Amino acid sequence: MAGPGLTPRRGFLARLIAGVATLATAPGAVAGQSDPRQGTSARWDDSWTARVTGRHRAVFDIPEIKGGTVGLFRSGMWMDNYAEMYGVKDQDLSPVVVIRHAAVPMFMNDEFWDAYGYREEYASVLEDMPKGESGNPFRKQSFGRQDFGIDPLQTRGAIILGCGVAFRRIVSDVMKKDNVAMPDAEAKARTHILPGVVLQPSGIFAVARAQDLGCSYVWAT
Amino acid sequence: MESGRRDFLETLALGTLAASAGSLFQPGDAAAQGPAGSHWDLSWTSRLKGKRRGIFDVTEIEDGYGVWRAIIWRKQYAQVFGIPEANLSTVVNIRHNGIALALSQDYWDRYNIAAEWKVKDPATRQPTKRNPICTRTGADALPAQFADFTIENLMETGGIVLACALAFRDCVDRVAKADGISMEEADKKTRAMLIPGVILQPSGIFAAVLAQENGCRYVHVA
């Protein structure tokens, strides 16, 4: 049996079967946005693509929660490296961070992490995180860098995308803990996605889409 | 193999600022300086040629198979498309838990790297004490069909090998602790054990993106 952060293949397959078709046809699949529909699909938010305008562009692929902090750190470090090397500003850089597969709890908010016991569930993969704190440990910082957490990275211009397929595991957690049906669970889970994070049809879609826009790919976990 | 998260933390604490400040600059390498007065060697970007370019991202030791995969790519492209291997741009990017691959057999012997990482010979699958991507002779020689599957041969025939300066700090830290010397001394000593021709970069991530900006396809190989 795989431990936290190591998604069992059976679970992945089950989510695919149970979730992809449902999610792909679900109304309101745009997370926390009013009317940001830019793509050809009315169901998914493609507006982030208009923000990929930097001279230097990179997509950071984070498929594991173990190593997720490293992934975030690497996106911030890349910004710093390019600033040092080429004298560019944050606005000249377009980092796109794709949080997918086993890493999806990273884009849930503090309230959700506390309510669903994620700190305890993922304790073994969060061993280097500050102890005795609550909430999402990825939100504010990464390895002590206050500008490398999900929130500050977004402030610096990073685009954070989430996998709509792997998000089903979050929905599944709500269904089990709250004993509610999938639509209710999904609606609730959506309200707990971190502000600014944009759900995509899949993380793979997002990774490919970012490269369509000129982003260099980095395996960041 | 478990990720060296704690090592990574220590590396960040010890190394990031020092690396950024250019302590890893190799004096005498003036022709190889990057833009904006940087002391990092980016000259390898000018050695990229042809339309077939790949950067092979090696994040784990994995018995050296990441480097082998890069070599295999070059051989296959050469065979299938009839292109001389030297006309294919092959960039190997050694970073994260794979960083020891960028260091010589001397480093592997002194600090018992193979045993720690449970390294196996990529050809025989038997436990080995050797850096699996380095040239070997005598009884340790690679089988004939793999004789040129080495980092030295890759570089001698036009391949480019980069290494992450952040991860390199792990090696420096190991030397400092094992030998009871200062980080400054350890830095010099460890640098001397880099395989000749390997080029340190500000980070492996930096190198991965820069290579793609110069037309390389990205492949995560280990």
- Give kind and range of the element (H or E) at residue B98: none
CATH ID of A52-219, from 1.10.240.10, 3.20.20.140, 3.40.1260.10, 3.60.15.10: 3.40.1260.10
Cβ pair A123, A56 in contact under 8 A = no
What 3-state class would DSSP assign to A46?
Answer: coil
Would you kindly state where each structural domain of chain B is located, as residue ranges? 53-147+159-220
pTM: predicted TM-score of the whole model, two decimal places:
0.80
* Chain B closest-CA separation from residue A87 CA (Å): 7
Structure confidence at residue A26 as a pLDDT band (50, 70, 90): very low
pLDDT digits (tens, 9 = 90+) for A108-125: 999 999 999 999 999 988
pLDDT digits (tens, 9 = 90+) for A143-166: 878 889 999 999 999 999 999 999
Q: Is the pLDDT of residue B220 over 90?
A: yes
Structure confidence at residue A141 as a pLDDT band (50, 70, 90): confident
Token pair, residue B171, equals: 């090696």
Q: Is the pLDDT of residue A2 over 60?
A: no
Is any Cβ of chain B less than 8 angstroms from the Cβ of A128?
A: yes
* Chain A closest-CA separation from residue B139 CA (Å): 38
Residue A128 and residue B6: Cβ atoms within 8 Å? Answer: yes
Q: Across-strand partners of A24?
A: none
Cβ pair B207, B199 in contact under 8 A = no
Of A52 and B15, more confident: A52
Residue A70 and residue B40: Cβ atoms within 8 Å? Answer: no
Of B141 and B10, more confident: B141
Structure confidence at residue B30 as a pLDDT band (50, 70, 90): very low
* Chain A closest-CA separation from residue B6 CA (Å): 7
pLDDT digits (tens, 9 = 90+) for A41-95: 778 999 999 999 999 999 999 999 988 888 999 999 999 999 999 999 999 999 9
Cβ pair B16, A84 in contact under 8 A = no
User: What pLDDT is recorded for position A5?
Assistant: 38
Cβ pair B148, B211 in contact under 8 A = no
Of B170 and B21, more confident: B170
User: What pLDDT is recorded for position A40?
Assistant: 65
Alpha helices (H) in chain B, listed in sequence order: 5-20, 65-81, 105-110, 113-116, 151-156, 165-179, 183-192, 204-213
Residues B123 and B121: their CA atoms lie apart, in Å, by: 5
Residues B105 and B165: their CA atoms lie apart, in Å, by: 19
Q: Which CATH class is domain B53-147+159-220?
A: alpha beta
Residues B13 and B57: their CA atoms lie apart, in Å, by: 24
Of A129 and B73, more confident: B73
Would you kindly state where each structural domain of chain A is located, as residue ranges? 52-219
User: What pLDDT is recorded for position B27?
Assistant: 31
User: What pLDDT is recorded for position B37?
Assistant: 58
